[in-house]
Amino acid sequence: MAVIHVKHQPELTAEKAMEMFKEGFAGKYEVYKAASGLRDFTIKKSSLIGVAVKLKQEKDKTTFIYTDTIPSALMGLLFASVWYTILNRSKYQAMVKEVKTFIENAPEFK
């Protein structure tokens, strides 16, 4: 799990943030509302590789919390093993790095 604090924007909602990610990753990844309440939205590369994102608003800071995930529940049940994660670690790390770079460089978050 990774955490990035951005410029405090109390008016920024998870839905608005998701739209910014959709625009930023258009044509490359699918971005959609997360099924569980633990994360706000998912950035999906494939049914096996993705990043789950949560926007956290506090009194004086705005924070993105994100982590790698297996976007498909069925694939998660079938492949959510230590071996699968180890074998695909570089793919997860690359995507997490892309998300980090997007957050750090998006003018909307500065």
Average pLDDT, the chain: 88
Q: What is the pLDDT of residue 47?
A: 80
What residue segments make up the domains of the chain, in order of their start? 2-109
Write down the pTM of the prediction: 0.87
pLDDT-derived band at 9 (thresholds 50, 70, 90) equals very high
pLDDT in tens, 67-101: 988 776 555 555 556 656 666 788 889 999 999 99
**Which of 3, 1, 2, 11 is CA-nearest to residue 108?**
11
Q: What is the pLDDT of residue 98?
A: 97
User: 9 CB contacts (<8 Å, ≥6 apart)?
Assistant: 62, 109
Measure the CA dihedral 86/104/38/2, to 10°.
40
